[in-house]
Each structure stands twice: as structure tokens, then as C-alpha cells.
Amino acid sequence: MGNSRTLHDELKQIVGESGILPEAQLAAYTFDGYVPKAAVLPASVQEIQDVLQFASDQDLSVMPAGAGTKLSIGNLPQKVDIVLATTRLNSVVEYEPADLTVTVEAGIRLDALQTVLAQHRQYLALDPPSAARCTLGGIVATNASGSLRVRYGTARNQVLGLRVVHANGTVVKSGGKVVKNVAGYDLNKLYIGAFGTLGIITEVTLKLSPIPAREAILVTAFENTQDAVGTGLSIVGSQLLPMFVNLFINAGIGIGAAADARKPMLVVGFGGDPETVAWQLKQGQGIMEQNGALGVTITEGESRAHLQETIREFPAKDTDTAAVIAKLNLRRTDIAAFAAQIVEVPWARDVQMMALLGSGVLYLAIPVASDTDFQELADTLTQLRQSAIAAQGNLIIETAPPELKQRIDVWGDIGDTLGLMKQVKDRFDAEGLLNPGRFVSNI
């Protein structure tokens, strides 16, 4: 294909004038310093199929996207030609409140869906970053879940069925509209978390939850990380059934007695009927105080909503190249030791940390300055990754400037599963059309 103007004209023949983003707005889908040649917004599955056929004929790469909030995740691309965004596919296809299920098009925004569901006192129990912008297709493609996963599980646990368009235009349906619907291979699990490398998600069926009648958060500080982690794990392992149990280190989100940003802070959320939540708060506060909490604050109403938004948005640095976001998946009992290891690193004084103690996830928000030595940072992250692997965990870099991505694989080694993953990629996308080079081992 010659120049970008010719490409735009060709694509307009497929998706129409309103289905292609003006060149002046391409910045919305710019990532890692790459500006796509074109961004298309198909309004139907047929248009998606036609765009994929066109891209295949012209040897152009296609980057699947929703609102673009997760485009920063991944290795540097081999080439960036067409971004295919699903934001015009944004309808509720079928909603059965009595069955606690909903089917939606992939381009619907999470907060828009929650507004519809709230009319029946229901919601999708996922709280990934950028809820006001992110789409359901993007959430599912990246398996974005958030802190509520300790109570409700990840996106993998809440997706009942998918409709996906493969690179060759084949439309595939997996799963269904009931919780137990899998006979044979569970294809849903292949697409969820594949970052658009196996196909473009166009429709999602989800299971829902009732909105809790009351929600409240306990916040407290501790003198040291070990006490905070131990207390949090005690709550996770208790009968209290919290919605989330998060640890913050150097994050500055404290309330009342926990306002010292340098002290580790434990934030525990509860939700349910009022009597149950009252009991949970009393028991949770007692566990905290027995383990040396420096004052416990109960937060409800608007303050709770604001705090929960702060928690949700902690890893949302998708457009901020002034920070590196790293995610470690660890055994829950290893979090305190890893946090202590990170604090000992000379440059880590300003690193903020959030741990999902119920899931063994530790996020690092590492500031990047104009004089950052990216090779030194890459070496340090590599050492930390090796420590995580030795502890049967891993480390993924979710967001980073291109200067760091040039020096480190953001996914890390995936071991013996690489051969199988390449076979699956070849089976679903033999030409390497979708998101080439960005997934694990540059798949």
C-alpha cells in the first residue's frame, strides 16, 4: 500500500466515512511511540471480516483494540499498520436479570454497562483500571480484573461465552449463557488474556452479581510490612469473606491515623447486607488491632467510593510514560519478603507498591526521570524476575517507555509452554496478522 491517504481511502470503502478515525485523532491509539497508519471502527462483524481480508491481501498488521487503554501492554511491535477498534459495537444484546446473565457487544464501556445493570441492582464484579473508558472486549482480551478478584475471581471466571472473529474471517462461538456449559475444550480460556493475538472478540456473555446493600472499607497503618501482610492474610483466611484485601507501601492513600505515606497500609473492603457488613467490620477491626494496627478507620459513602477508585486506578499508567508498572505474581506468603527486597534497592525510595493479598499480586509503580539509566533499571528488574521465578512466580512489565522495552522482554520466559503457544497461534492466525510480535516471546 502506498501512502496513508491511499490506505484511508481504501478502508473508507469498507467501513464508511464514520468508520475511520481522522488522522488528527490517531494519537488516541498511539503506543510505544508508534503511530498507526490508520484506525478503523467497524460497525458490524461483516466489516471486521472485510478489514481483515483487506489487511491480509495488503500484508498489513492489525492491532485489535477497544478504547486503547491497554495498548501500552506488550513488547515493541514488529510493525503498526491498522488499529481495529470495536468501540462502535457497543450494544447490550440480551439481558436476563432473573438469570444474572448479560450478553454485550465487545465495544461497550464498562461504566456504561454498569449503569444499565444498576437499574436491576446488579453489576459485573470486575474493577479494572480506566473503568470510565475501557471496553468489555479489552477487559476480556487482557484478563483485566482488579482487586475484587479475591471475592469474585478474574475475568476468566465471569465470562460464560464469546464470539470471536479469527484472522481468516471465520466467526467462532465458545461457551454459552449458563454457568456450567463446557463439554470438551474450554475455548473461552484461550481467548481470555491472549491480547488479541488469536482473534477479535466481538461479543461477550457474562455472569453478574447483586450490588451489595452496604459497602465499607477498613483502613489502617502498621509499623512494618510483615505485620501488615500477616494481618491481611489472617483476614483473607478467615470467615469474613472480604471483597478485597490490599496492602499499600509508600502510596500515600492513608485516611486518618493511616495518613503516613511511609508506613505500610492495609485496606480491606466488605460488601453485603447491612447486618453482615456490620459484623465483618467489627471482626476485621478486632483482627487489625490485635496485630498492632495504628488506629483503624471505617470509610463509607462518598469517601469509600473515592478510596475504591484510587485503589482501582493504581496500575492505570497506560498513557503515562513517566512511570514503569511492573506486576509480580507470587505466593501470598512471599509478598512481604519481596516488598522488603524492593525497598532495599537504592532507587526504590519513591517506588509505590500495591499488593492484592488475596491473590498474591504485587504491583510496582516505578517513577522514571529524565536521567533514568534504563539499562540499570532493566538489569534490576531482570534480577527481581529471576527471584520471582525461583519462588515459583513471575514478573510482567505492564507499562514502560520504549527505552526500557528495548532492553528487556516485558513478559519474561514462559518455559516449556512456548512451543504449544506457537502452535495455537499458527492454528488461529497462520499469517501473523494480529498484534505481531507483542505477546510472549514475540508471538
Is 397 domain-assigned? yes
Q: What percent of the chain has pLDDT over 90?
A: 81
Is 427 domain-assigned? no
CATH assignment of the domain containing 144: 3.30.465.10
- Domain check: are 252 and 191 in the same one? no
* Ranges of H-type helices in 195-329: 225-236, 274-290, 301-312
- Domain check: are 195 and 109 in the same one? yes
* Identity of the amino acid at 301: G
Render pLDDT for 205-217 as a digit per residue (tens, 0 to 9).
999 999 999 999 9
pLDDT at 359: 94
Is 37 domain-assigned? yes
Domain end (from 85, 119, 141): 85
- Domain check: are 266 and 281 in the same one? yes
CATH assignment of the domain containing 349: 3.30.70
Which residues span the domain enclosing 72? 4-85
CATH assignment of the domain containing 11: 3.30.43.10
**Which triple of cell numbers denotes residue 113?**
454497562
Is 441 domain-assigned? no
407 half-sphere exposure, CB direction, 13 A CA radius: 15
CATH assignment of the domain containing 293: 3.30.70.2190
Is 432 domain-assigned? no
* Identity of the amino acid at 430: A
Is 9 domain-assigned? yes
Render pLDDT for 186-211 as a digit per residue (tens, 0 to 9).
788 899 999 999 999 999 999 999 99
Q: Which residues contact 374 (CB under 8 A, 6 or more apart)?
A: 401, 403, 404, 406, 407
Give residue for cell 475504591. 308
In angstroms, the CA 355 to CA 247 distance is: 5
Domain end (from 60, 85, 110): 85
Domain count, the chain: 4
- Domain check: are 328 and 250 in the same one? no
Render pLDDT for 369-418 as a digit per residue (tens, 0 to 9).
888 999 999 999 999 999 999 999 999 999 999 999 999 999 998 888 88
Render pLDDT for 97-139 as a digit per residue (tens, 0 to 9).
999 999 999 999 999 999 999 999 999 999 999 988 999 999 9
- Domain check: are 367 and 306 in the same one? no
Query: Does 181 score more than 70 pLDDT?
Result: no
The pTM of the full predicted model, rounded to 2 decimals, is 0.92
Render pLDDT for 145-175 as a digit per residue (tens, 0 to 9).
999 999 999 999 999 999 999 999 999 998 8
Q: Which residues contact 357 (CB under 8 A, 6 or more apart)?
A: 150, 229, 232, 233, 236, 245, 246, 247, 332, 335
- Domain check: are 293 and 355 in the same one? no
Q: What is the mean pLDDT of residues 72-97?
A: 95
Q: What percent of the chain has pLDDT over 70?
A: 94
- Domain check: are 33 and 47 in the same one? yes
Q: Is the dihedral of CA 342, 346, 349, 351 positive or negative?
A: negative
- Domain check: are 279 and 201 in the same one? no
Query: Does 180 score more than 60 pLDDT?
Result: no
- Domain check: are 337 and 390 in the same one? yes
Domain end (from 281, 312, 343): 312
- Domain check: are 133 and 201 in the same one? yes
pLDDT at 318: 44
Render pLDDT for 222-265 as a digit per residue (tens, 0 to 9).
999 999 999 999 999 999 999 999 999 988 765 544 456 678 99
In angstroms, the CA 198 to CA 171 distance is: 12
